[in-house]
Amino acid sequence: MTKEKLGTWRIDRQLVEDISRHAAYGRRRKFKKNTVLYEQGEVSTRFYFVLKGLVQISIFRADGSEVVLELMGPQTVCGEGSAFDGLPRFSSAAAIEDTEAIEFDTTKMTEIFRAHPEFAALLLRVTSLKQRVLAVRLKHLASREPQDRIMELLTRLEDMFAIDHPRGRLLVTYLTHEQIATMTGTSRVTVTRTLQRLREQNRIDIVDGHILLKRRADGG
Amino acid sequence: MTKEKLGTWRIDRQLVEDISRHAAYGRRRKFKKNTVLYEQGEVSTRFYFVLKGLVQISIFRADGSEVVLELMGPQTVCGEGSAFDGLPRFSSAAAIEDTEAIEFDTTKMTEIFRAHPEFAALLLRVTSLKQRVLAVRLKHLASREPQDRIMELLTRLEDMFAIDHPRGRLLVTYLTHEQIATMTGTSRVTVTRTLQRLREQNRIDIVDGHILLKRRADGG
DNA sequence: GTCGGGCTGTATCGCCCGATACGAGACGCT
DNA sequence: AGCGTCTCGTATCGGGCGATACAGCCCGAC
């Protein structure tokens, strides 16, 4: 249970059901651990609805360094951005666990939309949600303070993956400091230092290796 | 001509024509300078296709500081993110010039999509393009180096708004150092210093107040 | 057990950014 | 001309982050 690998993204149950209902427009595919779904730079009209496993979405910078955008777990959509705007992939997707996904192709989408306009609305909701998360991340990354950057990630994970705990909310997702560093654009050492500082500020705690976001602003 | 206020966003001509063709689904509205199109936090199903003027999209952080996402000039779309996912606006939009726009409402969209599936595909292209730009910005904001952050903005503006010049590409858009600072999450002083450094590195030049991106890797 | 690898916690050092302040120049207004 | 406003350039100072290095720990492999 502890340290089970989970994603950093989730969509609401209704949306998942709605997408699943349209699964027939795509085809089921399997990706072995450490294989690539798509690669930054290539042009493709395909996108994916992850059913099982874990897919790491990352952007490689000109100097070769990697920025991890998300870890997409089951019931998430990825690759739809570049599939719909027709431009080269701006990110790479690699299965870091054995993965199953439904692969959709946008080339026939206009026809599908005519018969099933609700599927179009659905996809618009998904791309809009992604736009939102990216914008919110950007808001925090605009700050140069590591604490802002890291807390943004933690609160986002709280929204998606936390369970209740007597002293607050416990993050089910397990991430190493190294992973947090690549997702927040800081160094590993700074992540350690910052988490330490947050503990001193009584805002978080570590329980069995997992991060606990303490309830705030209550006399305790 | 110099210092005319322009936006920081543009979409290709074909996309503009396609959207204009569907203008009948919305209604024309005017916004006076310094009025608000929508505000962060509110729930709304409306989005806008700007025809004339200039709209500043910004996110306000918890401490009150402002991160400017974009300046949307004519022939750009804004507000579609929150209009389609149904969640509170993650950004605010304010007309900083007298502005005319077509206001669309998403509530009747499923019906429209049935008759005009190409309109759905169009909107998906637009949201996907926004997702792309946000992701690319994120890639650079992940770096803590002001030079990366600022160069990202400049090259993006180059793609959208530069004209040819004997020594490189001249940015038509005029931005004060202060504006660049709020868009890149740095301080005004650092923008000045960084641009100075870029001039010393012979990567940019200032021509008549406008930034010139010098041609690179050519013996000069 | 023993070894090795991955992760976390610290320490030191250098550097660069942010905060702050002030002056110069451009421009508009009266 | 005189004034105010906006912008850019530059200086000082303090702090904190990145780079680097190393120690302790856990855990799995053998």
Q: How far apart are CA A132 and CA A20, in angstroms?
A: 22
The predicted-structure confidence for B181-198, as pLDDT tens digits, reads as follows 999 999 999 999 999 999
Q: Do A61 and B130 touch (CB under 8 A)?
A: no
What is the rounded average pLDDT of the residues A52-77? 90
Distance B99 CA to D20 C1' (A): 54
**The pLDDT of residue A219:** 41
Who's near A15: CB < 8 A, 6+ residues apart? Answer: A122, A125, A126
Q: For residue B33, what pLDDT is reported?
A: 87
Chain B contact present for A81, CB below 8 A: yes
Q: What is the pLDDT of residue B5?
A: 67
B167-177, pLDDT tens digit by residue?
999 999 999 99
* pLDDT in the model for residue A1: 43
SS3 B140: helix
pLDDT at A195: 97
Of residues B177 and A108, more confidence is placed in: B177
| Distance from residue B64's CA to nucleotide C12's C1', rounded to whole Å | 37
The pLDDT, as a whole number, for residue B59 is 94
Q: What is the pLDDT of residue A104?
A: 97
From B42's Cα to the closest Cα of chain A, the distance in A is 14
A163, containing H or E segment: strand A162-165
Measuring alpha carbon to C1', the residue closest to nucleotide C17 is: B190
For residue B217, the model assigns a pLDDT of 60
pLDDT-based confidence at residue B137 (cuts at 50, 70, 90): very high
B69 inside 8 A of chain A by CB: yes
Reply yes or no on whether the pLDDT at B76 is more than 50. yes
Give pTM, 2 decimals.
Answer: 0.91
Contact B124 A121 (CB under 8 A): no
Q: How far apart, in whole angstroms, are the C-alpha atoms of residue B94 and residue B32?
A: 10
Confidence of residue A152 (pLDDT cuts 50, 70, 90): very high
Amino acid symbol at B136: V
Rounded to the nearest angstrom, the minimum Cα separation between B85 and chain A is: 5
The answer to whether some atom of strand D lies closer than 7 Å to the beta carbon of B136 is no
Contact by Cβ (8 Å): A69, A54? no
Enumerate the residues of chain B whose CB falls inside 8 A of the CB of residue A159: none
With a cut of 70, say whether residue A201 has pLDDT above it. yes
pLDDT at A137 over 80: yes
pLDDT at A8: 84
Whole-number pLDDT of residue B1: 43
Q: Which residues of B56-67 are buried (b: 16+ CB within 10 A; e: fewer)?
A: bbbbeeeeeeeb
pLDDT of amino acid A217: 60
Residue A115 in tokens? 């018969």
| Segment B33-74, tens digit of pLDDT | 889 999 999 999 999 999 999 999 999 998 888 899 999 999
Strand C bases contacted by the protein (CB, 7 Å): 6-11, 16-21
Q: How large is the average pLDDT for residues A99-122? A: 92
B chain contacts of residue A136, beta-carbon cutoff 8 Å: 59, 90
Tell whether A121 lies on the interface with B, counting CB pairs under 8 A.
yes
pLDDT-based confidence at A48, cuts 50/70/90? very high
Q: How many CA atoms does the CB half-sphere of B98 hold within 13 Å?
A: 0
Q: Is the distance between the Cβ of A189 and the closest atom of strand C smaller than 7 Å?
A: yes
> Does pLDDT of B7 surpass 90?
no
Rounded to a whole number, what is the distance in Å from the CA of B125 to chain A's nearest CA?
A: 5
Measured CA to CA in angstroms, residue A183 lies from A53, A56, A191, B161 at distances of 20, 11, 11, 31
* Cβ neighbours of B179 in A, within 8 Å: none
B146 in contact with nucleic chain C (CB within 7 A):
yes
Average pLDDT (A36-52) is: 96
Q: Does the nearest atom of strand C lie within 7 Å of A197's Cβ? A: no
For residue B193, the model assigns a pLDDT of: 97
Q: Cβ of B177 < 7 Å from strand D?
A: yes
**How high is the pLDDT of residue A220?**
37
The 3-state DSSP class for residue B200 equals: helix
DSSP state of A202: T
B192 touches strand D (CB under 7 A): yes
Question: CB burial class (10 A; 0-12, 13-18, 19+) of residue A4?
Answer: exposed
pLDDT of residue A29: 97
Residue nearest to nucleotide C19 (CA to C1'): B187
pLDDT value for B219: 42
Cβ atoms A57, A69 nearer than 8 A: yes
